A and B are shown apart, each in its own frame.
Chain A
Amino acid sequence: MRANGSSGAASANGVQLQASALRARALVAGVAAVVIAVVAGLTIGPAGIAAHRVLLELADLLPGIAVESGLNDSHKAIVTEIRLPRVVLGLLVGATLATSGATYQAAFRNPLADPYLLGIAAGAGLGATIAIVNDIGDGAGVFDLVPIAAFGGALGAVTVAYLAGHIGGRSTASLILAGIAVASFLAACQTYLLQANADAFRRILAWLLGRIATSGWAEPALLLPYFLVTTAIMLRYRRALDVLAVGDEEAAALGLEPRRIRLIVLLAASLGAAAAVSVSGLISFVGIIVPHAIRLVFGTSNRVLLPLSVLFGAAFLVLADLTARTVLSPAELPIGVVTAFLGAPFFVFVLRTSRREIW
């Protein structure tokens, strides 16, 4: 017997065994996707600024590098104060939603789970609707109360669903059912408010369909701490989530505390998703489609899936936002329309071409 020295690989009498791990090729693909999305998001737009000048201007922003991009002040402002914050917000929202979705699917052992499963969407929608119909905000600006109301509604909904799910039983099924009940109730409340306030309908609908809109750096700055903390927690539990894949009983027999692990990762995923939703509205599909596409291409292990969800989720949403703001330019499509319109065919393509059996 000999160990070949490197971590995660060994041989017994020549039998090779390696643990699933994030391979360099997958990591490079994820980083490349982010770079491509960022460059595209920064260089494409109605102002018609030359791409190489945009890249020079960006290089100039890096510490220790001073280059002259040749852009005039208004073009500089477009790049650094309009496009860049918007791209960064897209990265953060996409990464958070995709990673939360992957975590929800792992924690519930259910491929249909997404970050909105426990009522985050309905809670945020109701919170935002209440704020908008009461005219305490218009859904834009950092000191606006709409994101705060949405955040509160989302967290309230998840909390109620979690408590109700544990009263009804201890299985994940009772938790899912509680989430459905809470979501239905809150959606009913929201529909009532919509009917009673038809004048606010357009503004509410715009919020519900989601958008990556920024006023300077306020929104990315708001979301960044939530992204960092919740993503760090979810990534830290990636191996534990692989053990949970054999079910609570067997995971407990292997020495883990499955319910505590599930509570921690669902709290992190819910907090991240609620923060993302409160600044961007209800962007659907990212939390389902990105993790499943990654599973089909790179395998189902959460230690591969979660890090790649951060990267591909970020890239996907930036490209979706780019499409949303260019396809009907100068008008903008709601990004939720784009994520579904682009995402669904792409997903079917991956589904048809993958040989992996993951469901």
Chain B
Amino acid sequence: MSAAVEVEALEVSLDRTPILTGVDLSVSAGEWVNVVGPNGAGKTTLLRALLGLVAYDGKVHIEGLASQRRSVRAQHLAYVPQSPVIPQGMLVGDYVLLGRTPHRGVFAAESATDCRIAAEVLERLDLDGFGDRAVQSLSGGERQRAVLARALAQQAPILLLDEPTTALDLGHQQDVLDLVDGLRREQGLTVIATLHDLTLAARYGDRVAILSEGRVAACGPPDGVLTVDSIAQHFGAHVKVLRDSDGPVIVPTATTTAHATSAAPDGRGTAQNGDHS
């Protein structure tokens, strides 16, 4: 598989504070990579660098292209920000059509094709009939789907999701990630997502990259990356890592009970003890 995103020795400083100090990451076309890491590790900054929203040193190739022009990148990368700005009074239809901006030029009106694509996306995300409603009138889950719809309307092959499950309840978290997974399979999308929830990061996607102190500290299949040791080292967290057939389950342990042994949640799993370091 060819690399959809190729990052080498990426360095970003914000207000002269180094945030990323040499990130190397290669994501294949059609792959889903979750970027995890403690607060302030630079997860969002990494996505912003990919989008060309911050100045950087190092190599960032998007589908083989080195161009830093935003108008070029916007045709290859669709972005779902962590806290999208919801414009007052804007209708869902118009909001999703914003995703067509990279294809229509600054001054042009939407074509019938743009509207058809937006209508299809709305239908695919079960938002048909929402086109005439104001975005801010939607519930949290609907709103997240509307933002995702805008990104899909961009028809970019690579989808960047910044904490897509923040502010959603457990059911809606699953809904959104299942939806992304389904779309990825249907449309062959490449997905790079930042996630706080390590168990979700392990359940969805192919690989997990731990971003810590401005670098990718570990990257690979969840089983190998999300270990008690690595989580303790990079997150400063006391956890147990349970294994079941779907991958690791990360369970926080209260510091006082970190030494207690644990049992697997069901007959299939095996428990990995939390204090073996």
Contact = CB atoms under 8 A, between A and B. Distances in A.
Interface in A1-25: 1, 3-13, 15-21
Nearest to A247: B85
A19 to B, nearest CB: 5
B93 interface: yes
Contacts of A256: 70-71, 101, 106
A243 interface: yes
Given A3-B113, A12-B123, A357-B134, A17 B93 contact: yes
A314 B88 CA distance: 26
A357 B131 contact: no
A4 to B, nearest CB: 7
Given A9-B112, A18-B93, A246 B119 contact: no
A198 interface: no
Contacts of B87: 109, 245-246, 300
B116 interface: yes
B106 A254 contact: no
A250 interface: yes
Contacts of A300: 87-90
A1 B116 contact: yes
B262 to A, nearest CB: 43
A255 B68 CA distance: 11
B111 A253 contact: no
B81 to A, nearest CB: 6
A358 B89 CA distance: 5
By size class, the interface of chain B is 35 or more
Interface stretch (A144-152, A160-168, A234-242, A333-341): A234-242
B33 interface: no
A295 interface: yes
A331 to B, nearest CB: 42
Interface stretch (B72-80, B194-202, B203-211): B72-80
Contacts of B77: 253
Interface of A: 1, 3-13, 15-21, 109, 236-237, 239-240, 242-243, 245-247, 249-250, 252-257, 261, 295, 299-301, 356-359
Interface of B: 48, 51-53, 70-75, 77, 79, 81, 84-85, 87-91, 93-94, 96-99, 101-102, 106-116, 118-120, 122-123, 128-129, 131, 134, 136-137, 154
